[in-house]
């Protein structure tokens, strides 16, 4: 059954509806802090069913080569901040929501790799192909060892979690004191993409449908993402737009957003990427 929730950022209960969806569902905005989210939230059991073999076939077959190029770029960006440190054991990396494991497969040359997933299919797929341990479930339910990971990555997963704040608090607990957290999420302030969508499709872009291939439960702006990280105990090192698409015309829209950010300092692109460390 769908479950009504308070604002995940400030616990506020007063909201305005910004878009109606099917059945009981609405996309709402908190009047206190501005966080946008779906209320009520779908049951977790219902969400898990979205991520079966058919969902991952797009990644493992039709888009594999172009997605590998994207993962290589992300790994190269990460290593600018947290690469291998001299001699001795490689740093330990946890990829939260690791999907079919393409990023972990590339990262294993530099890092000791671990992953989490809510999809039983993905967990078995990664175990079979990489032979590495994958924890099944949301991060805040796994009770992993504290101060374990040098790097935690959350690539386009935070927006799917039923409780982003608790997952970020757990990320802080298991991250080493000098560790690095990287998060990438869609941008609620994606005004360029939204304007192009409206012109081409002649209708407003939909923020949520229970029938979406990837239902987004939370919609972050640079401001609300920074705020929720601060509340979880993190300090933002860098925040800006990035390329996350593999289809050429969607990548072009993202490059327009990056150009706008360079000219104005405002992130109106499609994606937000944040590098964060534990608060001193």
Burial class (CB in 10 A: 0-12, 13-18, 19+), 1: exposed
Query: Mean pLDDT, the chain, as a whole number?
Result: 93
Position 117 scores a pLDDT of 96
Give the pLDDT band (50/70/90) at residue 59.
Answer: confident
Instruction: State what percent of residues in the chain have pLDDT above 90.
Output: 78
pLDDT exceeds cutoff 80 at 222? yes
Domain residue ranges of the chain, discontinuous segments joined by +: 48-278
Give the pLDDT band (50/70/90) at residue 85.
Answer: low
pLDDT exceeds cutoff 60 at 143? yes
- 48-278 has which CATH code? 3.40.50.150
Q: Sheet holding 134-136: strands in order across?
A: 134-136, 112-117, 92-96, 149-155, 175-186, 271-278, 234-240
Position 44 scores a pLDDT of 84
Q: What is the pLDDT of residues 205-217, one digit of tens each?
A: 999 999 898 899 9
Give the pLDDT band (50/70/90) at residue 196.
Answer: very high
The predicted model scores a pTM of 0.95
Give the pLDDT band (50/70/90) at residue 84.
Answer: low
What one-character DSSP code corresponds to residue 273?
E
Position 87 scores a pLDDT of 63
Q: What is the pLDDT of residues 233-247, one digit of tens each?
A: 999 999 999 998 888
């Amino acid at each position: 059954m769908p479950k009504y929730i308070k604002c995940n950022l400030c616990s506020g209960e007063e909201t305005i509806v910004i878009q109606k969806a099917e059945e009981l569902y609405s996309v709402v905005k908190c009047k206190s802090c501005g966080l946008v989210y779906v209320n009520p939230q779908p049951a977790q059991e219902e969400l898990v069913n979205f991520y079966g073999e058919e969902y991952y076939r797009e990644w493992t077959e039709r888009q594999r080569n172009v997605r590998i190029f994207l993962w290589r770029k992300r790994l190269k960006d990460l290593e600018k901040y947290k690469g291998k440190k001299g001699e001795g054991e490689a740093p330990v990396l946890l990829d939260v929501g690791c999907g079919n494991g393409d990023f972990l497969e590339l990262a294993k040359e530099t890092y000791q790799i671990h992953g989490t997933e809510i999809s039983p299919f993905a967990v078995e797929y990664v175990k079979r192909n990489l032979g590495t341990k994958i924890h099944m479930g949301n991060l805040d339910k796994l009770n992993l060892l504290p101060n374990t990971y040098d790097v935690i990555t959350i690539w386009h997963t935070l927006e799917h979690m039923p409780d982003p704040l608790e997952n970020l608090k757990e990320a802080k607990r298991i991250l080493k004191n000098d560790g690095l957290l990287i998060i990438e999420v869609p941008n609620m302030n994606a005004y360029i993409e939204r304007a192009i969508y409206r012109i081409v499709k002649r209708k407003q872009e939909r923020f949520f449908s229970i029938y979406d291939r990837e239902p987004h439960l939370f919609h972050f702006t640079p401001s609300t993402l920074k705020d929720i990280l601060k509340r979880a105990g993190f300090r933002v090192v860098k925040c800006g737009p990035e390329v996350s698409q593999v289809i050429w015309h969607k990548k072009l829209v993202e490059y327009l957003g990056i150009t706008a950010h360079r000219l104005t300092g405002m992130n109106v692109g499609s994606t937000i990427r944040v590098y964060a460390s534990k608060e001193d």
